[in-house]
Amino acid sequence: MLRRSGRVPRKAVDESRSFLAPALVALGFWIGFPGIVAHQDMAGLVSGEEGTGPRWAAFVEKSVAGSIHQAEMPFVDGDLKTGSISGSGIAAPGIGKIAFRGKKGFTGTTPDEERINRAEKTGRLVQVVPVQPPKLFEAGTIFEKTSFLLEKPSTDQPLMAFVDPDIKGKEVRIASAFYMKKDKKADPTLPRAIAELVNNDQPDILATAYAPQKPDYAKASPFASILREEEPAGGRFIPPVDAKDHPWARQPLPETVFSKREQQCLAAGIYFEARGESVKGQAAVAQVILNRVRNPTYPNTICGVVYQNEKWRNRCQFSFACDGIRDRVASPAHFKTAQEVAMATTAGKIWLPEVGSSTHYHATYVHPRWAGAMQRMKKIGQHIFYRTYGGGWN
């Protein structure tokens, strides 16, 4: 019985090993160098660039005239076609085959110096020709054009004339669109009760307690605001009384009325005479006191008016000054209001037309003899106000 040996012949093993070693080396080079390092074969030298097809399919063949590696020669005659020449090229000794191609462009016999047009070419320095000014007007010669008043100007220039504007009749509406009149806002520095009585936003310029107001473009133009034309009264407050009123009523107060002592006397007169009245009633009493300061018949100071004849028992101008009772401020809050009213009326921020130029008043529960000799004005609170007919003492 024959047995088959399981051993492989030594020769077969050697052959497989001899094939395996180069295959492993080649695989290692293929993995280590996946890209092409260089083209050093004939196809690379001829074409100079990598082809689109596989490298192993490239081959070398004899080139014909007109290939990319052959020299070319243009013809002067542009109509000559290279296809009309036998072989489409010539064989030059030492050079090889030269392909012929059509002429691109035109090559004439005229030199470049004559063919180039340099008519518009100028130098680097630019000369600016001065332009003549308009004939009808020249700067600085307006006084020399007196002939325009006597003769008709030449018609070679466009004539101008005044025409009616398109906005005629709409000036106020257009101006109001740019300078809208705003509602007056109450002064935040004044108590609300006093601020409601303020009817003048241009106080006396000497009243340092109030900051200057911004220009009101609804009343004054921007030009007047910038130029700041001097006011006739110099910024002083002039009572807006009627022209038929007493002349002294249209005079400003003395400058001393804004001093601390004068304001203290006015606040005292308001407090002791009308502290139980409304703010309007207190302002009316203050206006009477200030009217007496303007009136040349009375003292020209607030303290002189308030305490006039204070030595005469119950015969002075204001009863609290000669009633024999010591004047004490029992309510600081009411006295503070009196001080605010005093400054507002002195500065002209509050002016009551119903009181006007009144210089007298009395309570409603008394009937003085002098009341019948004066012009009665209005009743405000518990006081009735009077104005003299002649503007003097009575």
Classify 387 as helix, strand or coil. strand
pLDDT digits (tens, 9 = 90+) for 140-195: 655 555 555 555 556 566 667 777 777 777 777 777 776 666 666 666 667 787 88
Question: 122-128: which pairs have CB atoms within 8 A and are 24 or more residues apart?
Answer: none
Q: Are strands 383-387 and 71-74 parallel, antiparallel or unpaired?
A: unpaired
Measure the CA–CA gap between 217 and 123, rounded to whole angstroms. Answer: 60
**Mean pLDDT, range 63-73, rounded to an integer:** 51
Most confident of 112-121, 156-165, 190-199, 248-257: 248-257
How far, CA to CA in Å, does 365 sit from each of 274, 361, 382, 383, 387?
14, 12, 8, 9, 19
**Mean pLDDT, range 323-345, rounded to an integer:** 91
233 against 68, higher pLDDT: 233
310 CB-contact burial (10 Å; exposed 0-12 / middle 13-18 / buried 19+) = middle
Most confident of 99-103, 234-238, 276-280: 276-280
Please state which of the ranges 89-98, 279-288, 355-364, 368-377 shows the lowest mean pLDDT: 89-98
Please state which of the ranges 5-9, 22-26, 297-301 shows the lowest mean pLDDT: 5-9
Q: 254-290 b/e with 16+ CB inside 10 Å = b?
A: eeebbeeebbebbbbbbbbbbbebebbbbbbbbbbbb
The domain segmentation of the chain, as residue ranges, is: 202-351
Contact 279, 338 (CB under 8 A): no
Residue 22: the pLDDT is: 81
pLDDT band at 2 (very low <50, low <70, confident <90, very high): very low
Residue 123: the pLDDT is: 72
Sole residue written with tokens 């012009």 = 375
Percent of the chain with pLDDT strictly greater than 70:
58
Contact 307, 299 (CB under 8 A): no
Residue 226: the pLDDT is: 53
Predicted model pTM: 0.51
pLDDT digits (tens, 9 = 90+) for 12-57: 556 666 777 788 888 887 777 666 655 555 555 555 555 556 666 6
Residue 269: the pLDDT is: 94
Phi-psi region of 94 (alpha: psi -120 to 50; beta: other; left: phi over 0): left
How far, CA to CA in Å, does 185 sit from each of 95, 179, 245, 353, 367?
105, 17, 31, 21, 41
Measure the CA–CA gap between 375 and 257, rounded to whole angstroms. Answer: 27
**What is the strand order of the sheet 360-363 is part of?**
360-363, 383-387, 375-380
* Fold classified for 202-351: Arc Repressor Mutant, subunit A (1.10.10)
236 against 117, higher pLDDT: 236
